[in-house]
């Protein structure tokens, strides 16, 4: 692939500039203020697919943000790769914690990225990683080296649960016919330690509201005699974990997939240094479910976390008030075989059951999704592993991640397709946080690795 790598090398500056242009568009899917920007980002992607040589490029409207589609059927005999990614990003808040404007990308070196990293919201999650696929495709097209048919499906609602994409794939089964799905929206262990993500957790997300008296009260006149919903809510939340940090909801663990000792042993071989982990986060100790290691706690075990909690007076100074209401947002990360619908129902039932008579409780479910495990013995994985081994000079380690991509399990359920999670981000790229960035090294490593995946996938399929 000399010619192809030459093409990539000659176009590096332009490939970077185009990504920077895309990163300037604040395509925040959660906030309706950015609706037009989300649309501009979709249009940008569509134009770049056309320029790269894709056919049938189209921006599909949905009830929410649009989906960009484009394809190249180069040879009916070749296998087809469905590339999925997202062009929407998380809100950049809190802005004041960014060292530079989240939508004015800058390239700076860091100790982990001596070759530089692009700082911007979405740099790693997922604009930078998604755009690698469009540039790899362009390079293959321009050097006549595309060895698979390719279909691109790039959405604008991943960060808000992909509900309209689910409707889309259910309606477009024949358009999306393929042999495998390829996604770069996960990470590797380190730039000298390649890995392939072979698991994602599912998600159940709820919002709870606890109501005490019908109005805010004077905390002196009523305090002690009327239930304070914040006191009650925090007590209820505290009761959701036991001493061993196991989740106290009846039935919660019933369907949890048991990972064999042999598999746990295999997983423990991935390099990990607890002291570095703690130092990075400036914590003196880790915390979690008894009987499991840190890497097991954040991948093969389910969790329950409060994401936000509010109520009462939070302004300046002291206001003596017994509030009428208290709220919390709670997420549960699930493992394969747990059903997000069932877990949401179990939570709802349990939360109502533990509420004292002195308050009323309302549980509102938000978006959810199921967990995924990727087998390591099918053609797609073999091709991905060979591709990474060639560009990194080391065999990639299969690793299960703790994050979620809700559409991935539906690719299997609806389209009957397995997904290869060929991501290139690092945990230290701080996705979703202030100062998100993506290594220039990682960006180009991705662009070089993707064509090799196509090559080996073609060989595996036609063997």
Q: Which residues are catalytic?
A: 88, 158
Q: Does 185 participate in binding Mn ion (rule CB under 5 A)?
A: yes
Pairing of strands 195-200, 397-400: parallel
Helix (H, G, I), strand (E, B) or coil at 371: coil
Give ∠ CA 386-392-398 in degrees, rounded to 5.
60
CB of 300 to Mn ion, least distance (A): 21
Find which of Mn ion, ligand BES, none residue 161 binds, CB within 5 to 8 Å per kind.
ligand BES
In this structure, are residues 371 and 255 in contact, taking their beta carbons and an 8 Å threshold?
no
Encoded tokens for 132: 């690698």
By CB under 5 A, name the one of 88, 125, 155, 460 that touches Mn ion. Answer: 125
Distances (CA, A) of 245 to 117, 209, 258, 342: 37, 24, 18, 21
Q: Which is nearer to ligand BES, 161 or 311 (CB)?
A: 161
Report the residue number, 322 or 332, with the smaller CB distance to ligand BES: 332
State the residue for tokens 């180009």.
444
Residue carrying the six token digits 């064509």 = 451
CB of 11 to ligand BES, least distance (A): 26
429 binds, among Mn ion, ligand BES, none (CB under 5 to 8 A by kind): none
CB under 5 A: which stretch of 119-127, 275-283, 287-295, 414-422 binds Mn ion? 119-127
Name 364's bridge partners.
207
Candidates 62-70, 120-128, 133-141, 142-150: pick the segment binding Mn ion (CB under 5 A): 120-128
Smallest gap from residue 428 Cβ to ligand BES (A) = 12
d(CA 425, CA 270): 17
Name the minimum Å distance from CB 403 to Mn ion.
7
Cα separation values, 458 from 3, 11, 149, Å: 19, 26, 10
Nearer to ligand BES, 27 or 186 (CB): 186
Helix axes 35-52, 127-142, angle to 10 degrees: 20
Q: What residue 436 binds from Mn ion, ligand BES, none (CB within 5 to 8 A, per partner kind)?
A: none
* Half-sphere exposure in the Cβ direction for 379 (13 Å, CA): 17
> Of residues 71, 126, 370, 448, which one binds Mn ion by CB under 5 A?
126
Q: Based on CB atoms, which residue is closest to Mn ion, 85 or 311? A: 85
CA distance 145 to 363: 54
Q: Does 138 bind Mn ion (CB under 5 A)?
A: no
* Length in residues, the chain: 463
Contact predicate 417/181, CB 8 Å: yes
Token digits of residue 332: 């549960």
Q: Which does 155 bind (CB under 5 to 8 A by kind): ligand BES, Mn ion, none?
A: none
User: At closest approach, how far in Å is the CB of 402 from ligand BES?
Assistant: 7
Which residues lie closer than 8 Å to 333 by C-beta, 6 or more apart? 201, 202, 203, 302, 303, 305, 402, 404
Comparison of 161 and 439: residue with beta carbon closer to ligand BES: 161
Residue 18 interacting entry, from ligand BES, Mn ion, none, C-beta within 5 to 8 Å by type: none
- Which residues form the interface with ligand BES (CB under 6 A)? 125-126, 158-159, 161, 185-187, 200, 203, 367, 369, 401, 403-406
By C-beta, is 384 or 405 nearer to ligand BES? Answer: 405
Q: Which residues fall within 8 angstroms of residue 222, CB to CB, at 6 or more apart?
A: 213, 322
If the CB atoms of residues 126 and 436 are measured against ligand BES, the closer one turns out to be 126
Based on the shown chain and the rule CB under 5 A, indicate whether residue 88 belongs to the binding site for Mn ion.
no
In angstroms, give the least distance from the CB of 365 to ligand BES: 13
CA dist 378 → 263, 291, 381, 408, 428 (Å) = 18, 32, 6, 17, 30
Task: Supply the minimum distance, in Å, between the C-beta of residue 382 and Mn ion.
Answer: 25
Q: How many residues bind Mn ion (CB under 5 A)?
A: 3
**Residue 460 binds which one of Mn ion, ligand BES, none, with CB within 5 to 8 A depending on kind?**
none
> Using CB atoms, what's the residue nearest to ligand BES?
403
Return the one option of ligand BES, Mn ion, none that residue 367 interacts with (CB less than 5 to 8 A, by type): ligand BES
Q: Specify the pairing of strand 80-86 against strand 180-183.
A: parallel
Interaction site with Mn ion (CB under 5 A) = 125-126, 185
């Amino acid at each position: 692939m000399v010619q192809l790598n030459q093409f990539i090398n000659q176009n590096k500056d332009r490939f970077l500039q185009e990504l920077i242009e895309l990163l300037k568009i604040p395509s925040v899917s959660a906030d309706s203020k950015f609706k037009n920007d989300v649309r501009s980002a979709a249009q940008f992607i569509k134009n770049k697919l056309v320029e790269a040589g894709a056919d049938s490029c189209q921006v599909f409207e949905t009830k929410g943000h649009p989906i960009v589609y484009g394809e190249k059927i180069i040879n009916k005999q070749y296998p087809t790769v469905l590339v999925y990614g997202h062009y929407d990003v998380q809100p950049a808040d809190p802005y004041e914690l960014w060292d530079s404007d989240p939508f004015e990308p800058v390239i700076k070196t860091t100790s982990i990225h001596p070759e530089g990293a692009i700082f911007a919201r979405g740099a790693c999650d997922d604009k930078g990683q998604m755009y690698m696929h469009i540039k790899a495709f362009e390079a293959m097209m321009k050097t006549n080296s595309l060895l698979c048919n390719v279909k691109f499906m790039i959405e604008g609602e991943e960060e808000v649960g992909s509900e309209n994409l689910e409707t889309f794939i259910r309606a477009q089964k024949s358009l999306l016919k393929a042999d495998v799905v390829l996604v770069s929206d996960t990470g590797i262990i380190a730039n000298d330690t390649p890995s392939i993500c072979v698991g994602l957790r599912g998600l159940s997300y709820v919002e709870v509201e606890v109501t005490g008296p019908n109005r805010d009260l004077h905390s002196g006149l009523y305090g002690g005699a009327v239930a304070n919903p914040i006191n009650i809510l925090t007590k209820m939340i505290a009761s959701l974990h036991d001493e061993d940090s196991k989740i106290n909801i009846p039935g919660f663990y019933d369907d949890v997939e048991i990972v064999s000792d042999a598999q746990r042993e295999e997983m423990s071989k991935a390099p990990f240094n607890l002291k570095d982990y703690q130092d990075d986060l400036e914590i003196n100790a880790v915390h979690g479910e008894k009987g499991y290691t840190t890497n097991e706690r954040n991948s093969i075990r389910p969790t329950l976390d409060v994401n936000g909690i509010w109520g009462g007076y939070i302004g300046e100074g002291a206001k003596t008030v017994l509030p009428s209401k208290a709220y919390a947002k709670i997420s549960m990360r699930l493992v394969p075989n747990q059903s997000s619908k069932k877990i949401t129902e179990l939570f709802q039932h349990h939360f109502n059951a533990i509420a004292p008579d002195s308050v009323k409780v309302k549980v509102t479910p938000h978006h959810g999704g199921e967990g995924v495990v990727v087998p390591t013995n099918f053609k797609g994985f073999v091709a991905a592993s060979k591709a990474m081994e060639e560009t990194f000079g080391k065999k990639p380690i299969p690793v299960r991640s703790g994050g979620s991509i809700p559409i991935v399990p539906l690719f299997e359920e609806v389209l009957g397709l397995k997904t290869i999670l060929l991501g290139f981000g690092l945990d230290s790229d701080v996705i979703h946080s202030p100062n998100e960035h993506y290594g220039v090294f990682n960006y180009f490593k991705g662009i070089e690795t993707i064509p090799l995946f196509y090559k080996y996938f073609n060989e595996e399929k036609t063997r």
